[in-house]
């Protein structure tokens, strides 16, 4: 993610904090900046390790809490993942995922034809749809080589 986009996101975060009366702390800022550095789908633990270099001694608890706050505020998302560890995603716009059924890795993919998906009407279910992700399930290169 280029520096400009990153800065925009941090500024957006600050504005949202102000308008919602949420304190804009130095820890929260550091955590957001750190998660924006990852181009994959880090766990809270990985974010904690990484943010520690920028902010030594930051609490694991704070990282867990803040990541959840950032998701609630729409500044990052969670990547749906088959495994048992929560994974975060700096990408908030529509994009898609390759999900390896062997190693469970999730890799981003962009495809305009997938973006053009006709979203079905779910109003009869009472479900309001905001956006979507396509998960392509299969086997990644690394796992195929192992066989």
Partner DNA sequence: TACCAAATGATAATGATTGTCAAGTACAAA
Partner DNA sequence: TTTGTACTTGACAATCATTATCATTTGGTA
- Among residue numbers 40 through 79, which ones bind its own copies (CB under 8 A)? 78-79
1 part of the interface to its own copies, by CB under 8 A: no
Which residue's CB is nearer to DNA, number 58 or number 99?
A: 58
Is the distance from CB of 73 to CB of 12 less than 8 angstroms?
A: no
3-class DSSP state of 37 = helix
Is the distance from CB of 47 to CB of 33 less than 8 angstroms?
A: no
Which residue's CB is nearer to its own copies, number 14 or number 68?
A: 68
Number of residues assigned to the chain: 147
d(C-alpha 34, C-alpha 50), whole Å:
7
Task: Give contact residues for Mn ion (rule: CB under 5 A).
Answer: 89, 91, 108
d(C-alpha 117, C-alpha 128), whole Å:
16
Determine the distance from the C-alpha atom of residue 9 to the mean position of all C-alpha atoms in its chain, rounded to a whole number.
13
Q: What is the smallest separation between the CB atom of 77 and Mn ion, expressed in angstroms? A: 8
- Kindly list the distances between the CA atom of residue 119 and the CA atoms of 44, 113, 116, in Å, as whole numbers in the listed order: 31, 13, 9
Q: Which of 21, 23, 57, 120 touches its own copies by CB under 8 A? A: 120
Q: Which of 3, 19, 61, 113 touches its own copies by CB under 8 A? A: 113
DSSP letter, residue 82: S
79 part of the interface to DNA, by CB under 7 A: no
Q: Which of 83, 91, 93, 103 touches its own copies by CB under 8 A? A: 83
* Residues in contact with its own copies by the rule CB under 8 A: 78-86, 98-101, 107, 109, 111, 113-114, 117-120, 122, 125-141, 144
* Residues in contact with DNA by the rule CB under 7 A: 17-18, 21-28, 43-45, 57-62, 64-66, 68, 84-86
């Amino acid at each position: 993610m280029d520096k400009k986009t990153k800065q925009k996101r941090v500024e957006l975060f600050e504005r949202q904090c102000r308008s919602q009366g949420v304190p804009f702390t130095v820890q929260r800022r550091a955590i957001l900046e750190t998660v924006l550095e990852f181009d994959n789908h880090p766990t809270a633990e990985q974010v904690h390790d990484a943010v520690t270099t920028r902010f030594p001694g930051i609490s694991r608890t704070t990282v867990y809490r803040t990541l959840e706050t950032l998701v609630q505020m729409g500044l990052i998302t969670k990547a749906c993942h088959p495994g048992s560890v929560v994974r975060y995603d700096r990408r908030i716009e529509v994009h898609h995922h390759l999900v390896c059924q062997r190693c469970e890795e999730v890799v981003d993919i962009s495809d305009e034809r997938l973006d053009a998906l006709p979203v079905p009407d779910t109003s009869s279910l009472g479900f309001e749809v905001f956006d979507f992700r396509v998960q392509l399930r299969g086997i990644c290169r690394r796992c195929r080589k192992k066989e």
